[in-house]
Amino acid sequence: MMQRKEMIGIEEAARQLGSTSLNTLMHIKRGLLKGIEADGAWLVDRRSLEALLEKTADRKTGHVCTRRHACSGCG
């Protein structure tokens, strides 16, 4: 289980991704990020965010395509 100290707010995660909170939530829903809802607020696992940022370092992560991965517009 994820520990709260390993979590950051969805707004901060979105800022680091260069995206919006809504897109970041979609990343969680599609399994690109690990996150939990606690006391009405979404929290993102720092390690999953770092892994996504590393994986997509040369691409924009704001878009989530229907193939359930972060891309900059797959064909």
Q: Is residue 24 part of a domain?
A: yes
Q: Is residue 50 part of a domain?
A: yes
**What is the predicted pLDDT for the residue at 71?**
56
**How does pLDDT run across 7-64, given as a tens digit for each residue?**
999 999 999 999 999 999 999 999 999 999 999 999 999 999 999 999 888 665 555 5
Closest CA to 45 of 6, 9, 74: 6
Split into its structural domains, the chain has a count of 1
Handedness of CA 57, 63, 65, 69 (dihedral sign): positive
Q: Is residue 25 part of a domain?
A: yes
Q: Is residue 14 part of a domain?
A: yes
**What is the predicted pLDDT for the residue at 18?**
93
Q: Which domain holds residue 49?
A: 4-66
**What is the predicted pLDDT for the residue at 67?**
56
Compare 52 and 67 and report the one with higher pLDDT. Answer: 52
Contact 14, 24 (CB under 8 A): yes
Q: Is residue 51 part of a domain?
A: yes
**What is the predicted pLDDT for the residue at 59?**
67
